[in-house]
Amino acid sequence: MDDGTAVLRDTDTGAGTVAEAAPQPDRASQRPGSALHITGLNKRYDSGFRALEDVDLDIRHGEIFALLGPNGAGKTTLISIVCGLVTASGGTVAVDGHDIEREFRAARSRIGLVPQELATDAFAKVHATVTYSRGLFGKPPSPAIVERVLRDLSLWDKRDERLMNLSGGMKRRVMIAKALVHEPRILFLDEPTAGVDVELRREMWELVRRLRDDGVTIILTTHYIEEAEEMADRVGVISQGRIIVVEHTTELMRQLGRKQLTLHLQHALEAVPPSLHAFGLELSGGGRELTYTYDDTSDRAHIPELLRALDAAGIVFRDLHTQQSSLEDIFVRLVRDSNP
């Protein structure tokens, strides 16, 4: 067993603890096994380019998992392999316990995919194309399910429209309808909200939550970090084909969320007094701002000490505020640290 697996195992253990403490029940733990189980996945394209290197990943049933990574990190490649659109060079992938090579049909029928690139037949009509998608998976026709999906996506009024007459956001909704109409248990959304307006993005988020509440496992890639922060139960960060970290969103924020405490001083200082050097303070704002940077886990305990030391040095502050790094900051730091 290699290091990557060990890391994921650690995460699993930690996740259990967090889930117990979290107000939301961890739906994911209610079913045994993994929705998606990936081990040692490699992809080398014909060009020789290595797009994925030894990826291990476990996605639990019913969770919303966000895959974050810069352009070219390998997100679409990973999803394409799971969906059978790209062949892996090595490793194994099981969807709901079904190997994607040996049991392709069983694996594929459990998956819905909303691809990053919207390839649609411009002349097709909404209702027909969604109905056809269901048939592709060998599911019996069901006008009721087609209607429900179209209504859920506010497409019912457009059902007889040709795709070329729809707006970009509506076309994206049709892609989602096509991905949902065969009732998949695992839904991949590759950059679902790229280029959609704020309102549609909100709608998408609501839809994703509704699906999750119905027990669908959601794996999404996004460049909008606030999306992962708001939506995802867990986040996986991928860079240059490697998974750098997999963690509960809240835990990631807690562990890596660097915090800053800024004190606005009554009187400007020329320099930080020697008695305060140990705190690594930063003086700015013309000598009127002192900033203390700390990690939430270890250094927090030093704050009372710092305040006492300030008092002893006769430094009076009139205001203070704290700031926490966003997932965006964390992400940038992780990628930078892993590519020195």
Ligand X SMILES: Nc1ncnc2c1ncn2[C@@H]1O[C@H](COP(=O)(O)OP(=O)(O)OP(=O)(O)O)[C@@H](O)[C@H]1O
Q: Pattern of binders to Mg ion over 91-130, x per CB under 5 A? A: -------------------------x--------------
Q: What is the smallest separation between the CB atom of 116 and Mg ion, expressed in angstroms?
A: 5
Please, which residue, 116 or 326, has the CB nearer to ligand X?
116
**Least CB distance from residue 28 to ligand X, whole Å?**
24
Considering CB distances under 5 to 8 angstroms, the limit depending on partner class, which of ligand X, Mg ion, none binds residue 250? none
CB of 190 to Mg ion, least distance (A): 6
Residues 34, 39, 76, 80: which binds Mg ion (CB under 5 A)?
76
Please, which residue, 117 or 160, has the CB nearer to ligand X?
Answer: 117
Question: Using H for helix, E for strand and C for coil, what is the string for the chain?
Answer: CCHHHHHHHHHHHHHHHHHHHCCCCCHHHHCCCEEEEEEEEEEECCCCCEEEEEEEEEEECCCEEEEECCCCCCHHHHHHHHCCCCCCCEEEEEECCEECCCCHHHHHHCEEEECCCCCCCCCCEHHHHHHHHHHHCCCCCCHHHHHHHHHHCCCHHHCCCEHHHCCHHHHHHHHHHHHHCCCCCEEEEECCCCCCCHHHHHHHHHHHHHHHHCCCEEEEEECCHHHHHHHCCEEEEEECCEEEEEEEHHHHHHHHCEEEEEEEECCCCCCCCHHHHHHCCEEECCCCEEEEEEECCCHHHHHHHHHHHHHHCCCCEEEEEEEECCHHHHHHHHHHHHCC
**Count of residues that bind ligand X according to CB under 6 A:** 13
Query: Which residue's Cβ lies closest to Mg ion?
Result: 76
Q: How far is the CB of 19 from Mg ion (least distance, A)?
A: 29
Asked if 57 touches ligand X (CB under 6 A), the answer is no
Q: How many residues bind Mg ion (CB under 5 A)?
A: 3
Q: Residues 6 or more apart from 117 whose CB is under 8 A from it?
A: none
Task: Convert residues 110-149 into a mask of x (bound to ligand X by CB under 6 A) and - (unbound).
Answer: ------x---------------------------------
Answer for which of 9, 49, 167, 323 binds ligand X (CB under 6 A) is 49
Interface mask toward ligand X for 62-91; x: CB under 6 A:
-------x-xxxxxxx--------------
**47: contact with ligand X by CB under 6 A:** yes
Looking at the Cβ atoms of 67 and 231, the one nearer to Mg ion is 67
Which part of the chain contacts ligand X (CB under 6 A), choosing from 45-53, 130-138, 245-253, 304-312?
Answer: 45-53
**Closest C-alpha to 93, from 29, 32, 40:** 40
Does 104 bind ligand X (CB under 6 A)? Our answer is no
3-state secondary structure 49-114: CEEEEEEEEEEECCCEEEEECCCCCCHHHHHHHHCCCCCCCEEEEEECCEECCCCHHHHHHCEEEE
Q: Which stretch binds Mg ion (CB under 5 A): 33-41, 73-81, 262-270, 329-337?
A: 73-81
Dist CA 93 CA 100 (whole Å):
6
How far apart are CB 221 and Mg ion at their closest, in Å?
6
- Complex with ligand X: residue 117 or 270, whichever CB lies closer: 117
CB of 55 or CB of 166, closer to ligand X: 55
We find the least distance from the C-beta atom of residue 91 to Mg ion, in angstroms, to be 19
| Binding residues for ligand X (CB under 6 A) | 45, 47, 49, 51, 69, 71-77, 116
| Binding residues for Mg ion (CB under 5 A) | 75-76, 116
